Structure 1
Amino acid sequence: MMNKGQPSRTALMSAAARAAHLLVDGTPSIFVDPLAQTFLGDRAEELLGYHRSYGGHPVLSGARTTAVTRSRYTEDRLAELADRGVDQYVILGAGLDSFAFRSELADDVRVFEVDKPTTQDWKRALLVETGTTVPPSAFFVPFDFEKESARSLTGHLARAGFDPGRPALVSWLGVTMYLTSEAIRQTLAVVGGFAPGSELIVEHILPAGLRDEAGQSYAEGVMAAAAEQGEPWRTFLSVEQMDALLLEHRLQPTEYARQRETIDPAEWERSDTLRPFELSVLARASVPTR
């Protein structure tokens, strides 16, 4: 469900969490996104006000922990792959991601942002309004996972300039819980058909029985709010279930990273309220040589 003229609540909350990390949490910062606040537009004061006033609340601190650890893990991996010559980055459900507009790495990597046309229209208008430069390496790929078959995604990407014959990193963060299992399968089938050497980093939410107390408490609070906004969580996957799905679609699992494992252990020795909890897992998989 989209707020009229605005991106989804999920996109706004994720950007607010990344922006608030730099305002309310201690150092060292886990992830630095200097454009996140800009991308909140006229909602910035309202959304960041919650974090400033109630930043220690488990839901808000949990949102920041989730947002910054998954972004850190993904962009660290992108930097490693770029050093090996991978020069395409596909962001599924890009929302208000700002990588293409702030990272020096974007000079060497073409970035394909895939999301709903309404979200992209809002974001592009905001880029113009704030004077944020859109580099020639950034490409917008309008695509609605709810209304279009994932099988058509390849065509959308190709029309935007994506080269299916070259490897890419695909990130799919904060999305799968909102989709049906069939939509997830269709998308994995598409990514499994990418060039050998391509990689996927996909976030999935653990079933209730596999969460710890903090993860369960966070899930209960966020799920209720998301459902009220028309964005219910639909799919939960264990590591074993995700492993089977990846293998089913010609993707070779290489790593499963929980929040605690996304950064160096020393970085969890913090004075703020950020703590890793058992809620989601980042699955990394590659397209093998055929």
Structure 2
Amino acid sequence: MENGPSRTAMMAAAGRAAHLIVDREPHLFRDTVAETLLGDRAAELIAYHRESGDHPVLSGTRAQVNARSHYTEARLAAGFEQYVILGAGLDTFAYRSPLAGRVAVYEVDHPATQAWKRELLSTAGIDTATVEFVGVDFERDDLAAELTAHGFDPKRPALVSWLGVTMYLTESAIATTLSTLSGFAPGTELVMEYAVLPELRDESGRVYAEFALAATAGQGEPMLSFFSPDTVTALLECTGFTVAAHVSQRDAVDAALWRRDDALHPADFCRLVRAHNSGRTRI
């Protein structure tokens, strides 16, 4: 945020919004608020998808952001009453999902990013009563303490999503946050997205990476960390988690949703890992 609003956050929101406009049914996910939230920037950002929607980085972004949101929000059906969204960016769950009235939602992000988002929400006339904004500078603030101060109950399990973030962090920074998360109540579940090592990418993932790595670096948000499932598992286990599953983009949604005749198809560039904490309480 030091250089202005996050371009990656805007591109992710634009990918969710454009999916409903550019791609044909069946849709992977329905974000009906992203376009409104983007406000004055919506037309410009969605226009790229309208005009060049089959470009690998644009179609790849739409596939990535919608598949991961589909999978993660579906996990809330397991009965969680608290939902922590790390690096929330322009996530819109709290403003469109019927679950938002039954699940306590905590959006965690840098205070400057949250100020920008709250201005967008206000301009769009979107009600924010269903969310707690937890401003955290991860280099200086205590994540657990800040969450608790905003009403998070450390004695109840939560679903924690961490999407579109770890690839922009160092491994040590990721480990620090995981160590904190592992101290949440037993039964807490984490869904974390990570970028795979180059040798694990399929052809679609390789093509997507060729464009995406240069684009994010050019926007001042370079990708820093890449993993194999084994190295992610080791990192999670050493910070107090037990891995339940690694999920490819193809497997993040029902197979029928990939039977399509448009430009949207899965790429093996990023994967999700679902893990549970091992029962240590740190809060």
Do the two structures share a fold, i.e. TM-score over 0.5? yes
Pair 1:271 & 2:261 matched: yes
- SS state of the match for residue 197, structure 1? coil
Q: Aligned AA for 1:148? A: R
Q: Which residue of 2 aligns with 1:131?
A: 125
Question: Using the alignment, how far apart are the partners of 1:126 and 1:11 within structure 2?
Answer: 13
> Do 2:183 and 2:279's aligned partners in 1 also have CA atoms closer than 8 Å?
no
Whole-Å separation in 2 of the counterparts to 1:9 and 1:256: 28
Contact 1:206–1:237 at 8 Å: present in 2 too?
Answer: yes
Q: CA deviation at 1:81?
A: 2.1
1:25-104 matches, cutoff 5 A: 25-78=23-76, 80-82=77-79, 86-104=80-98
Return the alpha-carbon distance in structure 1 between the equivalents of residues 236 and 259 of structure 2: 34
Q: Does the aligned pair in 2 maintain the 1:51–1:60 contact within 8 Å? A: yes
C-alpha distance in structure 2 between counterparts of 1:222 and 1:264, whole Å: 26
| Of 153, 158, 166, the match for 1:163 | 153
Which AA in structure 2 matches 1:58? Answer: P
TM-superposed deviation, 1:186: 0.3
- Paired with 2:215 and 2:120, the residues of 1 have a C-alpha distance of 26
Per the TM alignment, residue 289 of structure 1 is displaced from its structure 2 partner at its CA by: 4.3
Find runs of 4+ consecutive structure 1 residues off by over 2 angstroms. 1-4
Residue correspondence of structure 1 range 1-290 to structure 2 within 5 A: 1-4=1-4, 7-78=5-76, 80-82=77-79, 86-135=80-129, 137-145=130-138, 147-148=139-140, 152-289=142-279
> Which residue identity does 2:248 align to in structure 1?
R
Q: Which amino acid aligns with 1:142?
A: G
Q: CA deviation at 1:188?
A: 0.6
Shift, 1:276, TM fit:
0.9
Can you give the 5+ residue segments of structure 1 that lack an aligned partner in the other structure?
none
Partner Cα separation in structure 2 for residue 2 and residue 31 of structure 1: 31
Q: Is the 8 A contact 2:62 2:264 kept in 1?
A: yes
Secondary structure of 2:85's counterpart equals: strand
- Looking at structure 1, the residues matched to 259 and 140 of structure 2 have their Cα atoms a distance apart, in angstroms, of 45
CA–CA separation in structure 1 for the residues paired with 2:143 and 2:242: 21
- TM-fit CA distance, 1:166: 0.7
Which shifted more, 195-204 or 206-215?
206-215
Distance of 2:245 and 2:179 partners within structure 1 = 19
Report the Cα distance in structure 2 between the residues aligned to 1:116 and 1:281, rounded to whole angstroms: 24
How far does residue 2 in structure 1 lie from its aligned partner after superposition?
4.5
Q: Give 1:144 deviation, angstroms.
A: 2.6
Q: Deviations over 1:95-129 (max 9, x none)?
A: 00000011110111010001111111111112122
Describe the SS at the equivalent of 1:120.
helix
Find the residue that maps to 2:232 and give its secondary structure.
helix
The secondary structure found in structure 1 opposite 2:34 is coil
The C-alpha deviation readout for 1:162-199, integer Å capped at 9, x for no partner, is: 11111000000000000011100001101111000000
State the AA in 1 paired with 2:75: R
Q: Secondary structure at the match of 2:181?
A: helix
Secondary structure of the residue aligned to 1:37 is: helix
SS at match of 1:282: strand
